[in-house]
Amino acid sequence: MTRALFIVTLIAIAAVAGRARAQLGDEEILGRRAPPTTFRLDSIRMRVSSYEQDGHGYQSQAGPLLGPGSERMTVLQTQLEAIFKHGDRLTHRLWIPLDIITAASPNAMDRSPASADVVSEASRQNEAGTIDWTTTYKADAQTSLFVRDGFHLEEDFRSWHAGLGMIRSFADDNATLSTSVNAIFDWFDRFDVTGHRHGRTSRSSTNGNVGFSQILTPTTVAYADYGVTLQSGELGNTWNAVPLATREIGGEILPRTRLRQSVLGRVVQGLPWNGSVRASYRFYTDTWGIYGHTTEVQLAQRLTSWAWIRREIAVGRRTNVGSARVDRRARSARAKKGRHLALRLRLRALLPDERSRD
C-alpha cells in the first residue's frame, strides 16, 4: 500500500511539473537574466605579411656620394588582433603589429657624435612595433562612439596618437555616416646627411575625416571619404640628401607647416561566382604644391569555403609643383613628377573558428 501511494505521488508531481514547465519559461521561474558585465575575450587573429621594394633615389645613402642610392627594402610584419567584449555595449580592439625591416638605405644609427654609421650592415635592420587600443560604445542600434589611443616605438622614432569618432547608420542600416578626429605627436632623432646625430626634433599632426557609405543594390556598395590633416614641426626625416650645383650634397630644407587634403571614392560590386571587384579613386593635394591621383582595382575570388585569393592593381601619378612656393629657401629630394604601378597578389586561408565570421 505504501509503495503504491509513493508511486502515485511521484506521478502526480511529474504531471504538475510538466504542466508548469509547459506554461512557464526559465525567465518566469528564475527571473530575467542580467546582461553580461564581465570582461571576456571574443576573438583573436594573427597575420603575417611580407613586402619587397626595389629602386634607386637620391635620399638613399646606399650608393655613390652624389647618389642615387639603392632603395631596396624587405619588410616582414606580424599582426595580432584581439577583440574583447565588456557587457552588451562596450567592445575593445587590441591591435599589435611588429615590423622587421631590412633596407639597403640604412637608418644611420651612429652611437657617438664623432662616428657616422651610414653604410654598415648593423644599421640596415630596424625593428618597430605598435600598440593600438580602440574602445567602441554602442549608444543605440544606430549610433556607436569610439575612442582610440596608441604608441609606436622603433630605434630612432617615438610616436603617440589618440582620437575619437562616431558612426551613425540611417535608412534601415543601408547608409552610414562616420566622423573622426585624431592627434599624432612624433618625437625622433635628428641626423645630418652624413649620419651624425644632432639631438631630437618633433612634429605634430591633427587629422579630421568624414565618410559616407550607401548600399546601392543588394550586391553594390559605394563609399566616399574626405580627410584633412594639419602638420607642423620637422616635416622631413632629417637625413634626406639633395645634390647641389656645387657637386656636393646638402640636407632638405622644408617648410614648417603643411595642410594636406584628400578625397576618396570607392565602389564594391559582388560577383555571382563567389567573387567581388572593387574600384577606387583618390585625389590628394597639399599646400606644398603636390597633387596626386591614384586609381586602384581589386579582384577577389573565393577558392574554397576556407580560402580566397585577391589581385590588386594600383596606378598613380604625382606632380610636385614645388615647396619653394611656400618657402623660397626650400629644397627637397622628392621628384618633381612621378608615376607608379603596383601589382599585389594575396592569398588568405581561414581557420575553422573564423569561417563562421567571414
Residue 49: inside a domain: no
pLDDT (tens digit, 9 = 90+) per residue, 155-191? 788 999 999 999 999 888 899 999 999 999 999 988 8
What pLDDT was estimated at residue 7? 52
Pick from 238, 348, 237: nearest CA to 298: 348
Pick from 308, 312, 208: nearest CA to 266: 312
pLDDT band of residue 230 (cuts 50, 70, 90) is: very high
pLDDT (tens digit, 9 = 90+) per residue, 140-149? 989 999 999 9
Average pLDDT, stretch 263-274?
93
- Average pLDDT of the residues of the chain: 78
pLDDT band of residue 321 (cuts 50, 70, 90) is: low
How many percent of the chain have pLDDT more than 70? Answer: 69
Average pLDDT, stretch 264-281?
92
Residue 26: inside a domain: yes
Return the minimum-mean-pLDDT range out of 51-55, 219-223, 278-282: 51-55
**Cα 69 to Cα 85: distance, rounded to the nearest angstrom:** 49
What pLDDT was estimated at residue 336? 58
Helix (H, G, I), strand (E, B) or coil at 313: strand
Return the minimum-mean-pLDDT range out of 153-167, 278-292, 335-349: 335-349
**Cα 202 to Cα 193: distance, rounded to the nearest angstrom:** 18
CA-to-CA separations, 259 to 187, 205, 290, 340, 344, in angstroms, rounded: 20, 10, 11, 24, 30
**Cα 259 to Cα 222: distance, rounded to the nearest angstrom:** 27
Q: Taking the CA atoms of the chain, what radius of gyration do you get in angstroms?
A: 29
- Domain range spanning residue 24? 1-33
Average pLDDT, stretch 225-238?
93
**Cα 82 to Cα 39: distance, rounded to the nearest angstrom:** 13
Residue 130: inside a domain: no
Instruction: Inform me whether the pLDDT recorded for 257 exceeds 80.
Output: yes
What pLDDT was estimated at residue 127? 79
Cell 582595382, residue? 297
Residue 119: inside a domain: no
* Residue, of 58 and 276, whose pLDDT is higher: 276
Average pLDDT, stretch 284-313?
85
DSSP secondary structure string, 162-200?
A: EEEEEEEEETTTTEEEEEEEEEEEEEEEEE-TTS-EEEE
Task: Give the type of residue at 357.
Answer: R
What pLDDT was estimated at residue 335? 56
**Cα 203 to Cα 258: distance, rounded to the nearest angstrom:** 11
Cell numbers placing 316: 598613380
Average pLDDT, stretch 98-105?
67
Highest mean pLDDT among 13-27, 107-121, 164-178: 164-178
pLDDT band of residue 33 (cuts 50, 70, 90) is: low
Instruction: Inform me whether the pLDDT recorded for 2 exceeds 60.
Output: no
Asked whether 96 and 130 are in contact (CB, 8 A), the reply is: yes
Instruction: Inform me whether the pLDDT recorded for 239 exceeds 90.
Output: no
pLDDT (tens digit, 9 = 90+) per residue, 40-88? 888 999 888 777 777 776 656 566 766 677 777 777 888 999 999 988 8
pLDDT band of residue 320 (cuts 50, 70, 90) is: low
**Cα 209 to Cα 225: distance, rounded to the nearest angstrom:** 7
What pLDDT was estimated at residue 334? 62
314 burial (CB, 10 Å; 0-12 / 13-18 / 19+) is middle
Residue 289: inside a domain: no
Residue 27: inside a domain: yes
* Residue, of 135 and 313, whose pLDDT is higher: 135
Cell 573564423, residue? 354
Please, where are the H alpha helices in the chain?
Answer: 2-23, 26-30, 352-355
Instruction: Inform me whether the pLDDT recorded for 91 exceeds 90.
Output: yes
Domains held by the chain: number: 1
